[in-house]
Structure 1
Amino acid sequence: MSGKIAGIVLGLGMVVSCMAQQGGGWVVKQEWVRAHEEFLASDVMAGRGSATRDEEITATYVASEFMAYGLKPAPGMSGYIQSAEVVAPQLDGKATLTVGSVMLREGQDFQLLTSSAEATRGTLKKVAAVDAGQAEVKGAVVLLTGDPKTALDAANGLVRRGATAVLVVQSGASDELASMFGGKTQVRMRLAESKPTPGRTLVALTAEAVNRLAEEGNAKAELAVHVLPEGNVRRTFNAIGYLEGSDPSDGTILLTAHLDHLGVGRPVNGDSIFNGANDDAAGTAAVLELAHALGAGPKLRRNVLFVCYGSEEAGTLGSTYFGQHSPVPLKSLVANLEFEMIGTQDPKMPKGVLLLTGWERSNLGPTLKEHGALLGPDPYPEQHFFQRSDNYALALKGVVAHTAAGWGTPPTYHQPSDDLAHLDIAFMTGAIQSLVEPVRWLAQSDFRPKWNEGGQPVAGSK
């Protein structure tokens, strides 16, 4: 770029900043928010699949915006992108399930919904879904009978208690789950630097297959899967920007979202691109516009670190890697505010208000609300949303970390219909606007959020 053109661009940037701050305060423009969405959620981005080239392009876009807003590389980094190697097994779609004398085939007799990418063995044990909470399942391949929705809800608990695999009857509920996974078997990825850990194996059997197993009680069961030799090692990408404060020793505010989604999967109503406009291009747009606002203002007292993680959908790999390789000491983090699916208004929340997961766990949410943030308590405590986003890994390390969200489970969740047409841009913009000054205040003040008594999570807790 020539010096003349660079000067013009810089001048235009100053004009935009001045226009945005007319009237004494920063104004978040709807067209800025929509512009991020137009790119991030476009079909050309092919759903921003975890640990793909599309994710890398997304991280590059976010990094370029950070640069344009005046952010610098984080301490110890030479650029704006943090990359990590991940192991991403791919299956050939020809798994077999052998139970006693019966052999069942993937695609014909069952759907393999989730897999550890390793052979699974155990003794078949039939359990009524309503009794799953009390059943002894360690080392067993569990066939859950009864209501399909109840069975699916119970599956995770059985795996945590030692079931090697869970079999359910194929139903509308399991088909919906398969669609939420993009129509592909969800296979556990892992960071290359991490050791393999047991994954969840969940199988949806056809009704005919279940009948074939009727006489096979207590038989030995084995699920054999076949990992393709190519494409198992990939990279994931975090975009990171940094605003150094006037007193760096006073700690760092961390603002985060995840930039990946599900990529391309099984078509739903003819659409196979899972655009992820709400999940989580919306959160990414929030981080970008807060960087825009804070980067254009006067220097803050505390540092502010802006991070958009990769591979959240593959098991929060980007945030896990960040937590293990943070450019600033984790003990210096004053608070973490994650933005997840802020693109639509939850019908259970007051008009214009975002829910904050774990509201009652610390004094962060109520304090930001006192300073004008449109935040309120999560109306879905039974869904454990606090544990289901990138904030949780840092919360386990002691950082006061919460997630702000629009609607916990909108109808478009993990569907191709999560596109620009289903966003409420005005709601998004208002929510982001409401956080500009409260976050600025947090970065200028002496206030340090604290966990309420019993609020800090510990591993394995709910």
Structure 2
Amino acid sequence: MRRLALAALTLACAPALAQSSVPAISVDTLKDVTKTLSSDAFEGRAPTTPAEAKTTDYIVERMKAAGLKPGNNGSWFQDVPLVELTAQNMTPLTFTGGKAPVSLTYRTDMVLATYRVTPKIDLRNSDVVFVGYGVNAPEKGWNDYAGIDVKGKTVVVLVNDPDWQTVGKDGLFEGKAMTYYGRWTYKFEEAARQGAAAVLIVHDTEPAAYGWGVVQSSWTGPQLELDEKGDHMDQSAAVGWMQLAKAKELFASAGKDFAALSAAAKVKGFKAVPLGVKASVSFTNTIKRQASKNVIGILPGTERPNETVLFTAHWDHLGRCDAVKGDDICNGALDNASGVAGLIALAEAQTKAGSAKRSMVFMAVTAEESGLLGSEYYARNPVYPLKDTVGGVNMDGLNVVGPSKDVVVTGFGKSELEDLMKPLIEAQGRVMKPEPNPERGGYFRSDHFSFAKLGVPMFDGGSGEDLVDGGTAKGHAAVLDYIANRYHKPQDEYDPAWNWAGAVQDLSLYFQLGRQLAMSDAWPNWYTTAEFRKIRDKDRSPK
């Protein structure tokens, strides 16, 4: 999860629904499903643990009760092959050769893992290079790896992208809004393409958009990835994060000015800087291969059942995590038991409204917290071909603080789904807005992105910060409080005092959007400026 849930396209066959015709969204369902899935009995819903079967069986039970049919050729499940790696016997990460040795302790100073499915990682005396933001973007004339060979070396990388402090959208990297070049996944991918043996991202709370506690809870314990041929041996041997203070200590030991080099890295033409020190670390891995499951239900269409509208929410969370005040269960109530509750509530409402012309598919995906793995696997291996998937809605955390005057769109300005949503939002007396904090990279941090990369537009958004009761001051404070005190921590627990009125507002919008798509013959596309437009055009072109 990545946030507190926060040109007209003609649809001649599907006029907008009157608000009075939208079936009631069940608050009881929202409460019951969220409370159940986030209870300690579900142990934080980590994939491939004993809690998985309990979680997925419960979701199936609720989908059946909602009136859905099994969505995968008679089965409720799609197997997602995963491999689980648990790092053990982690030595300190040491840097030698500078003015003084620098040592980083696992968890408190750094976290490390590997994508390689191998029993041991042993990095010894690897030359360390600072590569700025670690970006190689030929279309922008930007390459932080130009003129340097990092094969077998350890690269130190800054989080986010060079424009993250720029107001507005000016700059090569879209200003304040994070591009994919700023996402940590990209930095690891590019470093691997460059042959780096290890990658260390310098954690800084503001550009990362979350504190060290989130990194620590997410990157320690069992780590999951898709179980694929080759065992990911083409990836760097070690990937992870280091604390900002330790990065400054490292640079000082190397006789370098961290602040000056960080500033230089923001300017086009930056050249990577060898630090003249060597990195060493080792750890072992326990390896477990086991399939997890996406849960899929369907409300079959009456006229064009092979064309589908998709609703998604991830069911997984972090399971057992680093304890806070003796509590080691990361319950994931908001993230994302609430989203699954929304999925079930929408299924109830759509079945109550009756079958539409197109099929509506409701999918609770696995391993979002491990890198969108369940949705990525489905997108690569779809039960319903992506060329026949009209679009849909992704839910990752519902609004539980009260009604808002605005609806924030993640990745604002990308798809024609916004043209469909705008009049629905206005009919509620609300306004559509872009993200207030696009530098957090929300667009790349939930399951809609897996589909976007392959051309399918998915609406991802929700209540903004301008609350009916308390305005933006109260709404923004609620966002910051959640990020600081509950996000990816054991404190993300169900609260019976939550106000579900805002969630109902948003779910009503999702219901109407899904209904319009399912009753029409329209195929919403990406705007011509969106990076996914060519993929969609190719997929939808006559063969």
Question: Root-mean-square deviation (CA), in Å?
Answer: 3.9
The 8 Å contact of residues 183 and 266 in structure 1, kept in 2 or not, is answered as no
The 8 Å contact of residues 262 and 313 in structure 1, kept in 2 or not, is answered as yes
Select the structure with the greater relative contact order (CA < 8 A; seq sep ≥ 6).
2
Aligned-partner Cα distance in 2 for 1:154–1:301: 39
Residue 453 of structure 2 is matched in structure 1 by 396
Measured after TM superposition, the shift of residue 291 of structure 1 is 0.4
- Of 65, 70, 75, the residue aligned with 2:67 is 70
1:123 aligns with 2:156: no
Aligned-partner Cα distance in 1 for 2:201–2:306: 53
Residue 427 of structure 1 is matched in structure 2 by 502
Residue 308 of structure 2 is matched in structure 1 by 252
The 8 Å contact of residues 342 and 404 in structure 1, kept in 2 or not, is answered as no
SS at match of 1:450: coil
Aligned-partner Cα distance in 1 for 2:354–2:183: 52
Aligned-partner Cα distance in 2 for 1:90–1:438: 42
Instruction: From the superposition, tell whether residues 129 and 381 of structure 1 become closer, same or farther in structure 2 (CA, over 3 Å).
Output: closer
Aligned-partner Cα distance in 2 for 1:208–1:445: 55
Deviation per residue, 1:76-121 (Å, 9 max, x gap): 2x32122222111111142343544769574499432554454446
> Which ranges of structure 1 fall in alignment gaps of 5 or more residues?
1-22
1:85 aligns with 2:81: yes
SS at match of 2:322: strand
Instruction: From the superposition, tell whether residues 447 and 143 of structure 1 become closer, same or farther in structure 2 (CA, over 3 Å).
Output: closer
Aligned-partner Cα distance in 2 for 1:32–1:325: 31
Amino acid in the other structure paired with 1:125: V
1:218 aligns with 2:276: yes
1:356 aligns with 2:409: yes
Q: Counterparts in 2 of 1:179-194, with a 5 A limit?
A: 179-182=214-217, 184-185=219-220, 189-194=224-229
Residue 20 of structure 1 is matched in structure 2 by none
Instruction: From the superposition, tell whether residues 434 and 64 of structure 1 become closer, same or farther in structure 2 (CA, over 3 Å).
Output: same
SS at match of 2:32: helix
> Which ranges of structure 2 fall in alignment gaps of 5 or more residues?
1-19, 137-141, 165-181, 256-274, 465-478, 535-543
Aligned-partner Cα distance in 2 for 1:69–1:376: 30
- Of 374, 386, 408, the residue aligned with 1:330 is 386
Deviation per residue, 1:1-36 (Å, 9 max, x gap): xxxxxxxxxxxxxxxxxxxxxx76411132221011
Amino acid in the other structure paired with 1:363: E
Residue 236 of structure 1 is matched in structure 2 by 292
Number of residue pairs matched? Answer: 427
Measured after TM superposition, the shift of residue 331 of structure 1 is 0.8
Residue 420 of structure 2 is matched in structure 1 by 367
Q: Counterparts in 2 of 1:301-340, with a 5 A limit?
A: 301-340=357-396
Amino acid in the other structure paired with 1:214: S
Taking structure 1 as the reference length, the TM-score comes to 0.79
The 8 Å contact of residues 421 and 509 in structure 2, kept in 1 or not, is answered as no
Aligned-partner Cα distance in 2 for 1:114–1:178: 16
The 8 Å contact of residues 356 and 405 in structure 1, kept in 2 or not, is answered as yes
Q: Counterparts in 2 of 1:440-451, with a 5 A limit?
A: 440-451=515-526
Residue 110 of structure 2 is matched in structure 1 by 111
SS at match of 1:253: strand
- Of 41, 59, 67, the residue aligned with 2:38 is 41
Instruction: From the superposition, tell whether residues 154 and 341 of structure 1 become closer, same or farther in structure 2 (CA, over 3 Å).
Output: closer
The 8 Å contact of residues 100 and 221 in structure 1, kept in 2 or not, is answered as yes
The 8 Å contact of residues 278 and 423 in structure 1, kept in 2 or not, is answered as no
Taking structure 2 as the reference length, the TM-score comes to 0.68
Measured after TM superposition, the shift of residue 224 of structure 1 is 1.7
Task: Report % sequence identity.
Answer: 23
